[in-house]
Structure 1
Amino acid sequence: MKKKEPKIITTEDGSHSVYLPELNESYHSSHGAYRESIHVFLLYGLEAWYARNRGKFPIRIFEVGFGTGLNAWLTLIWAEQNQVPVLYHTIEPFPLPEKIYDALNYTQQDETLTHYNGYFRKLHKMEWDTGKPLTDYFNIKKETVSLQDVQLYPTDIVYFDAFSPKKQPELWEKPLLEKIHASMNPGANFVTYCAAGHLKKNLQSLELTLDEVPGPPGKKEMTRAWKKS
């Protein structure tokens, strides 16, 4: 049977996401891909860490799930606008084909970001399994590798944006969370859209401190955890 192709869908805030028929799963919340990424990863991840650590840089970010590239692109914009250097490490075992990422409409969501439109495509076009600076303040390494096999570097912020525990349960279990925890610097944070009870218990068992933070549109809560300083 021929494998079904990824499909672009439009979420409630007008931004695109990608639906995978094979998994019956989309890359983002149906309530708004753009709003979800900003809320979970920028506001409660990057901005929260930076509020506690102004003057400490470069900021080292590890992302599980490059996906559409939305989180990376928004972080690049943040780094440029704030003139704060970011070292961004992301993994994606199955990168999207060009015809899909070229059709995504993220750069149309906010007119103030038009100066950075070209960088969204550059993020996708840059060679995989290598790293380089894309701007004066944003250096990225993309790898087509699984979380099980990736070599991790010291990290300040973890963007955990894997598919849901129902679709990829092994990524949310303690052994891989232990691997990530070992790479986190003192004072690092871990953020994800998921608020599953077993995830929170696993993070607490690693002696991470959990916050009560509101979820993005359509979700009551999300998960944010801090490593002791």
Structure 2
Amino acid sequence: MSTTIRVAMTADGSHTLVNGDFEKSYHSVYGALQESQRVYIELGLLPAFERFPANPITLFEMGFGSGLNALLTLREAEQHQRPVHYVAIDTDPVPSSETQQLNFDQLLGTHHLDALHEAPWNTVVAITPYFTLEKRQSRLQDFDTDQRFHLVYFDAFSPTSQPELWEADMFGKLAGFLLPGGLLTTYCSKSVVQRAMRTAGLTVEKHSGPHYKRNVLRAVKS
């Protein structure tokens, strides 16, 4: 792995990872856990459970990273006894020397973070009875699938670091992955991102963000 990654503490006591190439953190420095809980669980997963009550949830994550979003999703799947099939892509898997330092399990009272990171890539793995994981080592530009999703977690690095991932054609690709009524959530609420989503045919909603973040976005496929 060519990218240098290190572990850092955030303001709510949860860890994040820092990408040495971009000098960008994987999560908010004001609180990794509170950011993921707000953006991806409260605005994404829980509404998807309500919108699609009779279905196992299929979920796509752009950027597996630290595994925090997957761990929070697994916890909710177990608590609600709702099957979730979780597909995630990443180009640079984080080495175990860093993932084993992360304190997410201790904070959440879970014990699945190692299993999420140790699951082999490019195969489907049942982590628990309610959570299956499929990690693919791929760029979004190169990724394709016949699967269709109820929910997308869009957790790429910021538009200043990876502008090519925040353009209308990428959101158009993700819109094509979504089922009708499906949701896409992300932490970034910049006007250029909202315009790209609308150009891709998505309906954009602004919602209050976590601490020190005024707004975050949820997009809906009509």
TM-score bracket for the superposition, by shorter chain length: over 0.9
Q: Contact (CA 8 Å) 2:89, 2:135: kept in 1 or not?
A: yes
Query: Following TM superposition, by how much is the alpha carbon of 1:212 offset from its aligned partner in structure 2, in angstroms?
Result: 2.5
Tell me, in whole angstroms, the C-alpha distance in 2 between the residues paired with 1:219 and 1:27.
Answer: 15
Give the secondary structure class of the aligned counterpart of 2:215. coil
- Structure 1: segments with no counterpart, 5+ residues: none
Q: Contact (CA 8 Å) 1:57, 1:86: kept in 2 or not?
A: no
Q: Contact (CA 8 Å) 2:207, 2:216: kept in 1 or not?
A: yes
Question: Does 2:182 match 1:188?
Answer: yes
- Structure 2: segments with no counterpart, 5+ residues: none
- The answer for the alignment partner of 2:192 in structure 1 is 198
- The answer for the alignment partner of 1:103 in structure 2 is 101
Equivalent pairs, count? 220
Query: Following TM superposition, by how much is the alpha carbon of 1:11 offset from its aligned partner in structure 2, in angstroms?
Result: 0.2
Query: Following TM superposition, by how much is the alpha carbon of 1:4 offset from its aligned partner in structure 2, in angstroms?
Result: 6.8
Q: Which residues in structure 2 correspond to 1:41-120 (within 5 Å)?
A: 41-54=40-53, 56-110=54-108, 114=109, 116-117=110-111, 119-120=112-113
Q: Percent identity?
A: 38
Query: Following TM superposition, by how much is the alpha carbon of 1:177 offset from its aligned partner in structure 2, in angstroms?
Result: 1.1
Q: Contact (CA 8 Å) 1:63, 1:161: kept in 2 or not?
A: yes
| Greater share of residues in strand | 2
- The answer for the alignment partner of 1:27 in structure 2 is 26
Most deviating of 119-128 and 207-216: 207-216
| TM-score with structure 2 setting the length | 0.96
Tell me, in whole angstroms, the C-alpha distance in 2 between the residues paired with 1:225 and 1:177.
Answer: 10
Cα offsets for 1:152-200 (capped at 9, x unmatched): 3201100000000000000000111111111110000110000011111
Give the secondary structure class of the aligned counterpart of 1:210. strand
Tell me, in whole angstroms, the C-alpha distance in 2 between the residues paired with 1:125 and 1:109.
Answer: 20
Query: Following TM superposition, by how much is the alpha carbon of 1:20 offset from its aligned partner in structure 2, in angstroms?
Result: 1.6
Tell me, in whole angstroms, the C-alpha distance in 2 between the residues paired with 1:11 and 1:216.
Answer: 13
Tell me, in whole angstroms, the C-alpha distance in 2 between the residues paired with 1:135 and 1:109.
Answer: 20
Tell me, in whole angstroms, the C-alpha distance in 1 between the residues paired with 2:41 and 2:29.
Answer: 19
Cα offsets for 1:98-132 (capped at 9, x unmatched): 1100000111213xxx2x31x11000001011112
- The answer for the alignment partner of 1:148 in structure 2 is 141
Q: Contact (CA 8 Å) 2:48, 2:183: kept in 1 or not?
A: yes
Most deviating of 15-24 and 44-53: 44-53
Give the secondary structure class of the aligned counterpart of 1:78. helix
Tell me, in whole angstroms, the C-alpha distance in 1 between the residues paired with 2:200 and 2:166.
Answer: 13
Classify 1:80/1:4 alpha carbon distance in 2 versus 1 (closer, same or farther; 3 Å): closer
Give the secondary structure class of the aligned counterpart of 1:222. strand
Tell me, in whole angstroms, the C-alpha distance in 2 between the residues paired with 1:206 and 1:163.
Answer: 20
Amino acid at match of 1:7: R
Cα offsets for 1:70-90 (capped at 9, x unmatched): 000110111011100001100
Give the secondary structure class of the aligned counterpart of 1:212. strand
- The answer for the alignment partner of 2:10 in structure 1 is 11
- The answer for the alignment partner of 1:166 in structure 2 is 160
Tell me, in whole angstroms, the C-alpha distance in 2 between the residues paired with 1:101 and 1:35.
Answer: 19
Give the secondary structure class of the aligned counterpart of 2:208. coil
Q: Over aligned residues, Cα RMSD in angstroms?
A: 1.2
Q: Contact (CA 8 Å) 1:92, 1:145: kept in 2 or not?
A: yes
Name which of 93, 118, 127 aligns with 2:120. 127
